[in-house]
Every structure is written in C-alpha cells, then in structure tokens.
A = this chain, B = another copy of it.
C-alpha cells in the first residue's frame, strides 16, 4: 500500500479542478493506493507538510460534479519556483521528508511550464537520493503555450469564453449610427493562442474580429493605424482583438506613455484606445477580458473539462506504471471527427519552454488569423457542462478559506 499526493499551481483555469477529480477518481479505483493527499498552495504545501486528505474533503459524486464546474484551484495555488537542488537542496529535503512521513509513492503536479520545471527537478533529485517517488506533471494553462502537447487543459474553456464574449461584444458594438472602434484585450504575454481563438467567429459568418494582433508578429503603430483606417472604410463598427503581450511600440516606454495613459496601470488595450482617439479621433473604447477569461466556468467547454479529467486519471496510471519525470500530453489524431490520444513526454522537453502560434496560422499582413487554422480551435470549444445551480447561478465546490491558510 502507498499514498499519493496531488497539487495545483500557477494561474487559475476552469479545468484544474477537473484534473484533480481525474486524479482522485482514478486513485480510488486502484487497490494499492490508500490515502490521496491534496497539497495546499501547490508545492508550498509539500515543503511545509500542509496536506489535506482528499477523501475527507470530496465525499460524494455530487462533490465531484461540483468540482468539475468550479473554476480556479480548490487546493490553492502558488507561483513558487524551486531553486536548483544542486545549489540549494533545503526545499527538496523538506519535500522528501513530507513524502516519507506520509508514505507517498507518487506526486502529481497540475500546472504550467514553471510547474513542469518542478516536476523535472524533483524527479532528478529523487533519483539522486534514491527515493522511490514517481513525479508526474499534468498540464494546464489558458495560454496553451506548453510544448509537445497539442493543447493544454483550460485553454478550450478560455477560448470558448473569448469567442462567445467577442460575439456578444460585436452585437453590442454595432448599434449606433456613428463609426466606432472596439478593442478587446486578451490574455497571453508571449503566445497568441487565446487571442487567435477569437477568430472562430469567422466560422459563424461574422466579419469580426476585423483585426487580430498577436505577440508572434512584430507590432507597428503606423501599421496598426493604417489597418484600422482601412477597416473603418469597410465596417461601421471595427472590432479588434489584441493580445496583452504585443510588443510595445518605440517610445512608449519613455514618456509618451504618460500622455497616452500609463502602460503599467492600464495595459495595451487602453493604450491603443488612446492612440486611436488622438490619431483618428473616432469613437473608441477598449475592453479587458481580465480574469473572466480564465475563471468563467459557466461557459466551460465540455471537451476541455472531460479531457482535463481524463489526463489527470492518465497521470495516475502513468505513475503506477513506474514512470517518473514525465508530463502527460495530448496528441491530436484527427480534427474531424476530433480524436486525441494521451501520451507522455519528458518534463525536460516542456519545462520553461513556450510554444507559439504557428506562423502559417497568421495571414500575410500579420493582422488576422487564416480560416484553415480554425479547425485547430473549433473542436476544443465544443459541448457544455450540465451545470448544477443554486439560486439561478452555478454552484461551486468550496473548502473553507481557513483551510487554504
């Protein structure tokens, strides 16, 4: 008999708790697994031996249904990155102590590329000290920027939110008789996956978003203003999707920004709004989708949530099969009918690396997404959750805030 532990890390998504359910349910099925521990606040809980017995927390199928529709990380999260164990092994020693004391034979870490660095380092360290604990990474991030895997759990639901909301903003933008520009700022510091997903509206016959700017394309303010003027000649209400991570134009970092509106305070959407107001002079507004794009589980993609659960379960089987230092990944077999398999990759292939939008997804002008690329995005946003509601709004699974310290 052995116990296992699971932790959640990084920025919230709609799918991290579904992966926790996957780990939990699969572990329940396995005779040789006894306790299933949840580490509070990611790896910090492992260092501080702050774990909860998930069997005392998740008590019923109802609880699991609620967890599947609860956004964010029910066990808390962290942004803590372990130092190199060769330079400073103190965190690692504490983690090893927790694992030994609790008789934990496998540790599953649900997170992004920083967390996969933790998976990589821990597996190396355990090999060094000959501690037989398997370490497996379960991917998650709305940014979809993990290497090797076709996509990441959490991305599909975020993409569904972005597409649905862009659609509604498009309706909201077209009502007045005067020309206008609407800028929608979407998350993604280095990779444009989520911003690009707004282009699925084109599959519905919408002309919006008329312009899409992603960090993979060098941004030029002159080119931007020229693009906007051109689209304004074709459409009364121009809708623009812009990634928060597009490169800030020359001069913005030194003074100009103060005239246009504090970069730090207001982000790129507000900046571009001010540029259009001063340079074109038309009605213009900017909208930041903010944290809603990562936590709107009422719009969760069933495909995403189901896959998140399946990849969590696969992680448990992978650990039991004796693998370690691995990350579970999706391989896409077909777009139609949509088919994926779950495989493994070495954590070192994924840790600290980023996957960018393929160059051929972007049009030659660098300001929109090609239609053929939509077949990548569309399968990921399909299906809806059958939400449990209370008082007309989706119910959440919540542990008392005191448990999360």
Binding site for B on A (CB under 8 A): 12, 41, 44, 70-73, 76-79, 160, 163-165, 167-169, 171-172, 174-177, 200, 203-204, 206-207, 235-237, 261-262, 265-266, 270, 274, 285, 287-292, 294-299, 301, 378, 381-384, 389-396, 398, 401, 404-405
Contacts and interface: CB of A to CB of B under 8 A. Distances in A.
Contacts of A398: 171, 206
Given A71-B172, A79-B176, A168-B296, A392 B404 contact: no
- The 8 A-B pairs at the shortest CB distance, nearest first, are namely A72-B171, A77-B175, A172-B295, A381-B392, A168-B295, A382-B392, A164-B393, A261-B265
Given A164-B394, A393-B167, A394-B167, A172 B381 contact: no
28 contacts: A12-B172, A41-B175, A41-B177, A72-B171, A72-B172, A76-B174, A77-B175, A78-B177, A79-B176, A167-B393, A167-B394, A168-B292, A168-B295, A168-B297, A171-B398, A172-B295, A174-B404, A177-B404, A200-B393, A203-B391, A236-B405, A265-B266, A265-B274, A285-B291, A287-B292, A289-B292, A298-B299, A381-B392
A20 to B, nearest CB: 13
Contacts of A390: 204
Q: Indicate how many identical chains form the complex.
A: 2
A297 B296 CA distance: 14
A285 B394 CA distance: 24
A337 to B, nearest CB: 15
Contact of A176 (B70, B77, B393): B77
Contacts of A78: 176-177
Contacts of A395: 204
Contacts of A72: 168, 171-172, 174-175
Nearest to A166: B393
A383 B207 CA distance: 32
Given A78-B176, A288-B290, 10 more contacts: A41-B175, A41-B176, A44-B177, A72-B174, A79-B176, A164-B394, A261-B265, A265-B266, A266-B266, A288-B288
